[in-house]
Structure 1
């Protein structure tokens, strides 16, 4: 599944007021962190993840790994914050038509 620009803009608007739910620690991306992200996605569908890394390439790799391992869609990455979306069975967020 891919998101259209219209859908991304809609999700960015919803994510604007959200606080980061998951924050990576000194150990980086561990199995426990991935499990916590999956739990948060199942409950909220749209979450922010804070990645405290000063190295741009490392941050990009971590963001890509999170998206790949959780099966989510990257909505936006600003600074140290990644916004991801994954539809749950309950469909809490109704996306606009493409």
Structure 2
């Protein structure tokens, strides 16, 4: 599953006004962080995550690892923030960032 350039542009536009709902600190990806990311992706489909890690390589590795574990696509990475997308099985129009 990959996104077209039009979809990426649309998701980046929507994601611009979102606030990060999860912050990953220096101790890495815990089970609770991954569970919360999974739940948030199921509810909202498009989420922003802040990575408060000092090293660029470690941050990039954590972003890639998180996307792989929660089965999401990385839409954008800017600085310490990454935008993830995963289509919900049953989207809720009241919760989804794409349908509002």
Above 0.5 in TM-score?
Answer: yes
Structure 2 unaligned residues grouped into runs of 5+: none
Question: TM-score by structure 2 length?
Answer: 0.88
Whether 1:29 aligns to 2:13 is no
C-alpha RMSD of matched pairs (Å): 1.2
Q: Residue 69 of structure 1 aligns with which residue?
A: 69
Residues 36-83 of structure 1, C-alpha deviations (whole Å, 9 max, x = no match): 100110110000000011211000000000100000000000000010
Question: TM-score by structure 1 length?
Answer: 0.90
Q: Residue 48 of structure 1 aligns with which residue?
A: 48
SS at match of 2:18: coil
Structure 1 unaligned residues grouped into runs of 5+: none
Cα shift at 1:28: 1.5
